[in-house]
Amino acid sequence: MAGKEIQKEIGEAVTSAKNIEEVKTILLNVLKSARENGVERIGYVAGLITSEGPENIDKNVKRLIRYADDIRSKNNFPIFASTDVISDDLFTKLGMEKIAAADWEEFWRDILGSGYVTDIFMTPRWEISKGSISEHNNAKNFNLQIHYITGEI
């Protein structure tokens, strides 16, 4: 299973979710299935989205997508990003702007701590994102292989 395949599978699977807990359950099931089918490594791409203010969210989402695509093209195992899980449509449909930061942190802690994700890719400027800092700390706690990406693309 290549990176684009898991990206597509996740995107299609979560469309039926009715809340953030269902998104988490569906995502964990996709990751579990991949591992049960012989995938030894699964990567996650972390990066800033909201930390520079609402006026920069769209720009930062596009940036994270570019990094995820670039990272997938250079690695031979499935890799996903939050943008593959939470599309704009799903975000709006589920009213996710109302979800507290602590709940998002718990969501990603549960994903990263599931035992299915083996690698995390920290994109440039991750250090200014509270969410990415939390993901980095979780990656350390769960002994994930951490890759630091340098240079803008």
pLDDT tens, residue by residue, 26-69: 999 999 999 999 999 999 999 999 888 889 989 999 999 999 99
Provide the pLDDT for residue 4.
Answer: 62
- Ordered by start, the domain boundaries in the chain are 3-148
CB proximity list for 127: less than 8 A, separation 6 or greater: 133
Helix axes 130-141, 101-112, angle to 10 degrees: 30
Distance separating alpha carbons of residues 96 and 4, to the nearest angstrom: 25
- Write out the two tokens for 28: 């964990």
Reduce the DSSP state of residue 81 to 3 states and report it.
Answer: strand
State which amino acid sits at residue 30.
Answer: V
Whole-number pLDDT of residue 100: 83
Stretch 20-31: mean pLDDT, rounded?
96
Measured distance CA(72)–CA(76) in Å, rounded? 7
The model's pTM: 0.93
> What confidence tens digit (pLDDT) does each residue in 98-136 have?
888 888 899 999 999 999 999 999 999 999 999 999 999
Sheet holding 43-46, edge to edge: 79-81, 43-46, 119-122, 145-148
If DSSP codes are grouped into helix, strand and coil, which group holds residue 54? helix
Protein fold of 3-148: Rossmann fold (3.40.50)
